[in-house]
Amino acid sequence: MTLRIVYSIGKGGVGKTTCAGALSLQSARSQKTLVVSLDPAHNLGDVLGRKLSGDVSDVSPNLWAAEVDMDAAIARYLDASTQKLKGAYSYLKTINIDGYLEAMKLSPGIEEYATLQVMEELIRGAEGRYDVVVFDTPPTGLTLRVLALPRVSLMWGERLTGLRREILDRRQIIKNIQGERKHVIDGIEHTLAADEKSDAVMGELREYVDRMRRLSATQADGKISRVMPVMNPDSLSLFETKRALATLRSLGMTIGPVLVNKVGVKATDEQSVRDIGRELGLPTRTLPFSPVEPVGTEALERLAGSVDFGEWIPGTP
């Protein structure tokens, strides 16, 4: 069976991690499940009552978990990008590549790209090994930017591929007139590629565009990916969920039902849940507010007892 992916998404503190944990425990009753926290401020281990690390460790039969070290992931991403750039542009002495790479560390989007890379690696590593991967995501803003990246990057990648093609066409024209010219830099001979097959930059671009295309297809395939929006019965949570759902829909992601957590504190909560369902145009499921903190697998199983989390697992019969 193909790997299925669930994203637990919501505003800070609504219970994303708690619900990701509860879903994972239910899922693990019948399928191999991996739950991963991508939130830089981890508490998945606290919720499951286990010490977790960046390496996958087993929690109970059929359930594995990890808390990704996001700082290390960002450092790894920067390092890999640096090596690639240095390799591709080793002949360019006119631009200060080290200065550029230094600035890249501070440039916007790095955290998003690093998070996307981690997700991609986890998904690839999970194929054939697990049936279900559950992502406990960082707060909404960052998560939405990460999920939008494949689509946005795909557009950029296609544009850049077109530009590169124009450059190569011009090089080809010059080559036809002047013949093949060699450039010697620091005693090393370089020839500038003029066709797509031998151009390293074009190779990189192609690979990148393919990756982004695969990622956005995976996200938009309702048989593979599904979002579990988690919220509380209050208006701030509703406003944020509404905005988030608009973005997720525009990415073609399959959503729902909406999980309204911590219900029953206010007398108006039941009415709020009905309003939420109507306002968001999605079915709702509720989890009660628990008088004892739902920490540890037993407390989670008890809390989750009334909800069938299988509804959020794509393709579950």
Ligand X SMILES: Nc1ncnc2c1ncn2[C@@H]1O[C@H](COP(=O)(O)OP(=O)(O)OP(=O)(O)O)[C@@H](O)[C@H]1O
Nearer to ligand X, 18 or 33 (CB): 18
Distances (CA, A) of 226 to 246, 247, 253: 15, 14, 7
Distance CA(207)–CA(157), nearest Å, equals 10
Residue range at the interface with ligand X (CB under 6 A); choices 60-68, 248-256, 289-297, 309-317: 289-297
As measured in angstroms, the least distance from the Cβ of 48 to Mg ion is: 12
- Residue 15 binds which entry of ligand X, Mg ion, none, with Cβ cut-offs from 5 to 8 Å by kind? ligand X
**Residue 125 touches ligand X, criterion: CB under 6 A:** no
Bridge-partner residues for 255, per DSSP?
227
Nearer to ligand X, 21 or 150 (CB): 21
As measured in angstroms, the least distance from the Cβ of 222 to ligand X is: 24
**Residue 297 touches Mg ion, criterion: CB under 5 A:** no
For the segment 268-287, give every residue that binds ligand X (CB under 6 A): 287
Query: Does residue 139 have a cis bond before it (omega within 30 degrees)?
Result: no
For the segment 128-147, give every residue that binds ligand X (CB under 6 A): 139
Per the rule left: phi > 0, alpha: psi between -120 and 50, beta: everything else, 58 is beta
Spatial neighbors of 220 by CB under 8 A, at least 6 apart, are 251, 252, 253
Q: Among 71, 293, 298, 308, which residue sits at the site for ligand X (rule: CB under 6 A)?
A: 293
**Residue 290 touches ligand X, criterion: CB under 6 A:** yes
Amino acid at position 276, single letter:
I
**Residue 18 touches ligand X, criterion: CB under 6 A:** yes
Residue 73 C-alpha from the chain's centroid: 13
Q: Among 27, 216, 241, 261, which residue sits at the site for ligand X (rule: CB under 6 A)?
A: 261
* Beta-sheet strand order (sheet of 4-9): 57-60, 63-67, 33-37, 132-136, 4-9, 225-231, 258-263, 284-288
- Residue 125 binds which entry of ligand X, Mg ion, none, with Cβ cut-offs from 5 to 8 Å by kind? none
Nearer to Mg ion, 20 or 202 (CB): 20
Q: Are 31 and 16 in contact (CB under 8 A)?
A: no
For the segment 34-93, give every residue that binds ligand X (CB under 6 A): 39, 43
Q: What is the largest CA-CA distance in the chain?
A: 83
Q: Among 17, 24, 153, 237, which residue sits at the site for Mg ion (rule: CB under 5 A)?
A: 17
- Residue 32 binds which entry of Mg ion, ligand X, none, with Cβ cut-offs from 5 to 8 Å by kind? none
C-beta atoms surrounding 288 within 10 Å:
14
How many residues touch Mg ion (CB under 5 A)?
A: 2
Q: Would you tell me which residues interact with ligand X (CB under 6 A)?
A: 10, 12-18, 39, 43, 139, 261-262, 287, 289-290, 293-295, 303
